[in-house]
Homo-oligomer: A and B are copies of this chain.
Amino acid sequence: MKKRPTILDVARHAGVSKSTVSLVLQNSPVVRDTTRRDVEKAMAALNYVYNRSAAGLRGAATDLIGLIINDLRNPFFTEFAASAQMAFARKGYSTVIANTDEDPDIQVQVIDSMIEHGVSAFVISPAYDATPAAFERIERAGIPAMQVLRQIDPRTDVFPFASLDYATGGAVATQHLIDLGCRHIAFIGGLEDRPITLERRSGYNQVMAEHQFKTTHLPGRPSRAFGRDAALELNSHHKSINAVVCFSDLVALGMLAGFAEIGVQVGSDFRIVGFDDIEECSLVYPRLSSVRCNTALFGEDTANAMLDWIVDDKRPPDTQRYKVDLIARQSSLGA
């Protein structure tokens, strides 16, 4: 673990001054091609590695992006994070990812740490109950930050918000079931009072109201376990319900498992539409209808929007809603 060569070593080896080496490093057009080649040869020979700490110290912007995710184990967020990270990587940016596990304290801690590391931007899918402290620190540090998927700080003029058009998704799913002849449709899952629950359910509420159908909501955690319980619950206490829009695919998949246990035929006896369209939807039996959020594209677009901001100073709109689509499959259409 001997000392690494510096630009001075490279300069000596190539027979130029260290400024010239620095210029080559920055791809300056001002350096003669032959000189550039000499320098590059020297760097290769000496096994030179660029020291970003030194560069950052002198004022050059770092190419580090902080990506903070409330629940990295959830496939939906994983997909988002992986897509964003790869989009950043394609443009030469490195990503520091942290999972906060919905813990506001961890969130503050990782934000502080990333600020110290000099990240040049934040993309945050925040934990709920985040204290204002989290965003305050970012604001004081003057670092551009976007909130995605959950709007915690109301000042979207400071922290632009990007998410998916959940309300429309809920509406389209509900209308789809009505078009199939369903009248007794429930909305299953989602923790009460959470913005995302409210958004997804608002579309359902609105369409049901338009048709003057009665709404039913069984709130609950967005998990398979809750979905399974909900299926059993509906079967014993809400016999009239014969179709559901689920808060998430995990809930819908749990319901699929629950109905399989008690022998209810999903797709004919009972129709289900999930939400998110995770990969598994097209692979389970029966195939699960779902509102596709195209998380991968969303992650990529968010990354690019952020790069536009920090590179070209083109600030994203205060609020951006990406389109969602209904993917109809066996669980609502039948076999």
Tell me the A residues contacting B by CB distance below 8 Å: 1-2, 4, 47, 49-54, 56-57, 62-64, 72-73, 75, 78-79, 81-82, 85-86, 89, 92, 94-99, 101, 106, 109-110, 112-118, 140-142, 224-225, 228, 253-254, 257-258, 260-261, 279-280, 283-285
Given A94-B117, A224-B280, A257-B284: A82 in contact with B99 (beta carbons within 8 A)? yes
Q: Verify A224–B283 contact, CB threshold 8 A.
A: yes
Q: Verify B49–A116 contact, CB threshold 8 A.
A: yes
User: CA–CA, A135 to B115, complex, Å?
Assistant: 30
Chain B residues whose C-beta falls within 8 Å of the C-beta of A64 in the assembled complex: 96, 117
User: CA–CA, A279 to B225, complex, Å?
Assistant: 10
- Residue from B110, B116, B224 in contact with A89 in the complex, judged by beta carbons closer than 8 Å: B110
User: CA–CA, A110 to B88, complex, Å?
Assistant: 11
Can you list 25 pairs linking A and B with CB atoms under 8 Å apart? A1-B142, A49-B112, A49-B116, A51-B57, A52-B53, A52-B116, A53-B62, A53-B118, A57-B57, A63-B113, A72-B82, A73-B75, A78-B78, A85-B97, A85-B99, A89-B110, A92-B113, A94-B96, A94-B117, A95-B96, A224-B279, A224-B283, A228-B283, A257-B284, A261-B285
A96 to chain B: closest residue by CB: B96
User: CA–CA, A101 to B4, complex, Å?
Assistant: 30
Chain B residues whose C-beta falls within 8 Å of the C-beta of A110 in the assembled complex: 89, 94
A64 to chain B: closest residue by CB: B117
Chain B residues whose C-beta falls within 8 Å of the C-beta of A142 in the assembled complex: 1-2
| Distance in Å: Cβ of A6 to nearest Cβ of chain B | 11
Chain B residues whose C-beta falls within 8 Å of the C-beta of A225 in the assembled complex: 283
| Distance in Å: Cβ of A335 to nearest Cβ of chain B | 9
Q: Verify A94–B98 contact, CB threshold 8 A.
A: yes
User: CA–CA, A86 to B109, complex, Å?
Assistant: 12
Q: Verify A57–B49 contact, CB threshold 8 A.
A: no
A81 to chain B: closest residue by CB: B72
User: CA–CA, A116 to B99, complex, Å?
Assistant: 24
Chain B residues whose C-beta falls within 8 Å of the C-beta of A86 in the assembled complex: 99, 101, 106
A140 to chain B: closest residue by CB: B47
Chain B residues whose C-beta falls within 8 Å of the C-beta of A2 in the assembled complex: 142
* A-B complex: 5 closest residue pairs judged by Cβ atoms: A1-B142, A53-B56, A224-B283, A257-B285, A97-B97
Q: Verify B94–A95 contact, CB threshold 8 A.
A: no
A224 to chain B: closest residue by CB: B283
| Distance in Å: Cβ of A279 to nearest Cβ of chain B | 8
